[in-house]
Amino acid sequence: MARPREFDVDQALDAALDVFWSHGFAATSVADLVAATGLPKGSIYKAWSDKRDLFLHALRRYEERSLADLERKLTRGASPRAAIESWLKSVGDACCGGEADRGCFAINSIVELAPHDDEVAALATGQLQREEQLLARTIQAAQQRGEVGADVEPRDAAAFLVALVCGLNVRGREPMGRAQVRRVLQLAIATLD
């Protein structure tokens, strides 16, 4: 009979996610993961087959949380357009300081690994498609209320906004000035008119 795990898997996964987010996949060593999780190397390998498996679990966890957070932000309040604008403002704020120097874990993973790792590329593509679907539904709801122009194609506008957010997250690695970010977001919001 196998012994039960004597550690909190979620807590260990969160600690590993934080290390991968700060350093990237290649620059994170197993020793870094041991230090962050407080687990011996053997326990890490029992829970996850290798560093890549742990990374993929961390990426999935991050993406699930990000999607849930985006859905929450887009469905709160009475106005779909205001929800989109509020979400874009929160992205802009994140690009101007705080944890901006780490960027977005999903975008960082795409840049680092997707060109040569099909599984990361598939995870990333799926994540971005789900974000676009959420945004397209919100844009369509805003159109029905007269808050977005009737000639705006919801799927195209959603794809544009996701691409913009990806770019802001990459640029946010070197924090942009608040005034510049505000101007960029004003241009993006104007495309919904």
Q: What is the pLDDT of residue 134?
A: 96
pLDDT band for position 1 (50/70/90)?
very low
DSSP H helical segments within 76-117, as ranges?
80-94, 105-113
- Cα 76 from Cα 58, distance rounded (Å): 27
- 3-class SS letters over 121-160: HHHHHHHHHHHHHHHHHHHHHHHHCCCCCCCCCHHHHHHH
Q: Is the predicted pLDDT of residue 96 greater than 80, yes or no?
A: no
Q: Is the predicted pLDDT of residue 99 greater than 60, yes or no?
A: no
State the burial class of residue 146 (Cβ atoms within 10 Å of its Cβ: 0-12, 13-18, 19+): exposed
Q: Which CATH number fits domain 9-190: 3.40.50.300, 2.40.30.10, 1.10.357.10, 3.40.50.2000?
A: 1.10.357.10
Q: What is the pLDDT of residue 4?
A: 46
Q: What is the pLDDT of residue 98?
A: 57
Q: What is the pLDDT of residue 163?
A: 95
Q: Is the predicted pLDDT of residue 5 greater than 90, yes or no?
A: no
Looking at per-residue pLDDT, the higher value among 180 and 130 belongs to 130
For the segment 13-27, the average pLDDT, to the nearest whole number, is: 95
Q: What is the pLDDT of residue 149?
A: 96
The mean pLDDT value of the chain amounts to 90
Residue spans of the domains in the chain: they are 9-190
What pLDDT digit, counting tens, does each position of 121-146 carry? 999 899 999 999 999 999 999 999 99
pLDDT band for position 181 (50/70/90)?
confident
